[in-house]
Amino acid sequence: AQSVTQLDSQVPVFEEAPVELRCNYSSSVSVYLFWYVQYPNQGLQLLLKYLSGSTLVKGINGFEAEFNKSQTSFHLRKPSVHISDTAEYFCAVSVLTQGGSEKLVFGKGTKLTVNP
């Protein structure tokens, strides 16, 4: 079964510092990978996704992620974070169910806290 592991449950950083949020997945087939962000009291919002092609994917709010097939990783990075980036970040892999529909399998999330 496909699964997603987010190695850090909490990541504190200072404003304007770089950050990397780690994500590893397990899959024996081609994958579609996603990063979603959840701000307090809100639903999830797509940051970026990898479907195919270039392994470096750029998303909204200055985030980017690199797909590494050999290491089965899809780490999220930002070169300089802002206070407003404080949120929970979820990595997800898309899988097809037995019923033929598509569903997302999520990691447990990483809480990013940006301190002044």
Partner 1 sequence: ETGVTQTPRHLVMGMTNKKSLKCEQHLGHNAMYWYKQSAKKPLELMFVYSLEERVENNSVPSRFSPECPNSSHLFLHLHTLQPEDSALYLCASSQDGAGGGEEQYFGPGTRLTVT
By CB under 8 A, name the binding residues for partner 1: 4, 32, 34, 36, 41-46, 49, 51, 90, 94, 96-97, 99-109
For residue 89, what are the CA distances in angstroms to 1, 37, 76, 101? 22, 5, 9, 24
For residue 4, what are the CA distances in angstroms to 25, 44, 46, 87? 4, 17, 17, 19
Cβ-based nearer residue to partner 1, 15 or 105:
105
Cβ-based nearer residue to partner 1, 14 or 39:
39
Question: How far is 104 from 4, CA to CA, in rounded Å?
Answer: 10
Smallest distance from the beta carbon of 38 to partner 1, in angstroms? 8
Smallest distance from the beta carbon of 43 to partner 1, in angstroms? 3
Smallest distance from the beta carbon of 46 to partner 1, in angstroms? 5
Cβ-based nearer residue to partner 1, 63 or 90:
90
Question: How far is 102 from 33, CA to CA, in rounded Å?
Answer: 13
- The structure tokens listed for 14 are 């200072």
Smallest distance from the beta carbon of 55 to partner 1, in angstroms? 15
